[in-house]
A and B are shown apart, each in its own frame.
Chain A
Amino acid sequence: MTAPQSIHTGSLDVLGGEVLLDVSHVSMGYGDGEHEKRILEDLNLKVGHSEFVSIVGPSGVGKTTLLRGLSGLLPPKRGTVSVAGQTITGPHPDIAAVFQDYSRSLMPWMTTRENVAFPLQGQGVGRRERNRRAEESLEEVGLSGQGDKYPWEMSGGMQQRVAIARALAYHAKVLLMDEPFASVDAQTRFDLEDLVVNLREALGVTIVLVTHDVDEAIYLADRVIVIAEKPATVVDVIETGFGTVRDQVDTKADPRFQDARGRILTRLRKA
């Protein structure tokens, strides 16, 4: 038994090793000029290889907006996002995403396998290789042999697994997730959280996940970035120090988890 450890105030820089995703002085907003509604102000963050970073903040603070910036869907008003040293100017093959609403992100006219394989078709991957990779990814998310089903024949949790498989099959370096478990029931949510934790350990993918759920943010991440205020900025960073293994009961009973939880909730109440 090791002595209870305490949480650390984290840094916006990586813990060590190479920087994979570099968010530098990013400001984002909607509209132009005088009519601009500024959502995010001067956000800085570096994420290392295989790191799991969660960004937590209240609803409406700009989490989805931030992910739209990181995924190249919406250019920042100021600042740059770069991945593996390359500044992105739009969607980038090193970046994949899982969206909140699984029922809207999968195409109902495609089977599960086709949904997962589809992005690869755009990259010119041949049919056989596409299907092989789709099958492999479906297996990784626990859906082997379900490729011929349509999304609407599946439960919400299974559909979100398909969306995760699609992102994995794309072989991107960074996986962005926007409140991926917000629309499923509690048990399914725990299963999906553990799935993502295990995928990170098994495949070494780098994950940036945004959520409004403080417990989820702490449970999953190596580093929790807390954003708040209008326009939003980083108000706190916490290193959890849990390593790569989690347990829904033990981890959540860990004093570090409780400390982080108290600290973040207090910080968000102030905002």
Chain B
Amino acid sequence: MKTLIRAGWTLWLPVLLVTIWWFASANSTNIYVPSLSRIVEVLWRDISSGLLIDAARVSLTNLAVGLLIAAAVGILLGLLIGETRRLRLILDPYIHFFRSVPQSALVPLIIGAMGIGAAPKIYTVAFACVWPILLNTIDGVRGVEPTIRSVSRVFGVPKLLYFRRVVLPGAMPQVVAGLRVALPIGIVVMVVSELFASNQGLGFYILNSSATFQIPETWGGALMVGVIGYIIVIMFSLFERRVLSWYFRSGAL
């Protein structure tokens, strides 16, 4: 019953908005704003034909691999840089330079340089996502309680064990915050990367339909990306609750 009420609270607004959209667009004559029923119709058509499913599979695979690379590189480097003062001094300017460059603007360059295929798209996603993860991890490592560091040193905890059981969990709340920031960036860059030198994926579906004036398909593709993004964020929250359960339960908010 409680979950039902909560679900009700979460859902009433989107349901209302969709309903308004549905009726307000029902008799639309503007070709750029097709009726929602028309959008849903083509969406359903392309989903059941497998066209959109294939596109989503390609896109999500690139996204997942790109994010994994970004997480691995960002967390590992973040742990090292956060823990080593000298590395921080040397690398700080570069990190802040690259994180300030608008990632979407680099997409055509990277793809131009690396050519077609999945690799450059994975690379662009990874490149865009690595910065928030890296910066947050460094901050998280810096924030690990100095007394806990002293404890680890007094008890002679070896470096690798120290990273795995002390620094990483200590920085984990921030690492997860970095991942949360990286997710939507990754989704956007994934789509944008498929607008260039591409013949598959959700971005290509959107670009292709828009270039051929299939406006409902363009809307449908965008809607699909939005829904996928939403589902990913929900799944991420579940993951977050799991890995940070000590953090939430200790009330260290």
Find chain B residues with CB under 8 A from A71 CB: 154
Q: How far is the CA of A105 from the CA of B145 in the complex (A)?
A: 8
A82, chain B: closest CB distance, angstroms: 17
Name the interface residues of A108-154: CB closer than 8 Å to any CB of B: 108-110, 118-119, 121-123, 150, 152
User: Which of the 9-residue segments B104-112, B163-171, B209-217 touches chain A?
Assistant: B163-171
Residue A96 is within 8 A (CB to CB) of chain B in the complex:
yes
Is there an interface contact between B169 and A107, defined as CB atoms closer than 8 Å?
Answer: yes
Q: Is A91 an interface residue (CB 8 A)?
A: yes
**Interface hub of B145, B151, B246 (most chain A Cβ within 10 A):** B151
Q: Are B251 and A122 in contact (CB under 8 A)?
A: no
Given contact pairs A108-B246, A108-B252, A109-B172, A99 touches B156 in the complex (Cβ within 8 A): no
A181 contacts chain B at the CB level, 8 A cutoff: no
Residues of B within 8 A of A152 (CB): 249-252
The residue of chain A having its C-beta at the shortest distance from the C-beta of B145 within the complex is A104
Q: Which residues of B contact A97 (CB under 8 A)?
A: 150-151, 154
Q: Which residues of A contact B96 (CB under 8 A)?
A: none
Which residues between 110 and 161 of chain B lie within 8 Å of chain A, taking CB atoms? 145-148, 150-151, 153-158, 161
**When each residue 214-253 of chain B gets 1 if its CB lies under 8 Å from chain A and 0 otherwise, what string results?**
0000000000000000000000000000000011011110
Contact partner of A107 (CB less than 8 A), chosen from B148, B154, B156, is B148
Contacts of A99 in B (CB 8 A): 147, 150-151
B253 CB → nearest A CB, Å: 12
A105 to B155, CA, bound (A): 12
Is there an interface contact between A73 and B252, defined as CB atoms closer than 8 Å? no
In the assembled complex, the Cα of A96 lies from the Cα of B165 at a distance in Å of 19
In the complex, the answer to whether B157 meets A119 with C-beta atoms within 8 Å is yes
User: Majority SS of interface residues in chain A?
Assistant: loop
Are B147 and A101 neighbours in the complex by a CB distance under 8 Å? yes
A109 close to B170 (CB less than 8 A) = yes
**Inter-chain contact B157/A105, CB cutoff 8 Å:** no
Query: Which B residues are in CB contact (< 8 Å) with A170?
Result: 155
Q: Do B169 and A73 have beta carbons less than 8 Å apart?
A: no
A101, A110, A123, A166: which contacts B156 (Cβ < 8 A)? Answer: A123
Residues of A within 8 A of B169 (CB): 107, 109
Interface string of B176-218 (1 = CB under 8 A from A): 0000000000000000000000000000000000000000000
B250 closest partner in A (C-beta): A152
Please indicate the chain A residues that have their CB under 8 angstroms from the CB of B166 in the complex. 107
Q: Complex: how many Å from CA A96 to CA B158?
A: 16
Q: Counting CB contacts under 8 A, is A95 at the interface?
A: yes
Residues of chain B contacted by A150 (CB below 8 angstroms): 246, 249-250
Q: Output the nearest chain A residue to B148 by Cβ-Cβ distance.
A: A107
| Chain B residues within 8 Å of A110, by CB | 165
Please state if B170 and A107 are interface contacts (CB–CB under 8 Å): yes
What are 5 A-to-B residue pairs whose CB atoms are below 8 Å?
A72-B153, A91-B153, A99-B147, A107-B166, A152-B252
Q: A109-B246, A119-B155, A121-B161 are in contact. List 4 more A-B contacts (CB 8 A).
A: A96-B154, A104-B145, A109-B169, A109-B170
List residues of B whose CB falls within 8 A of some A CB: 145-148, 150-151, 153-158, 161-162, 165-166, 169-170, 172, 246-247, 249-252
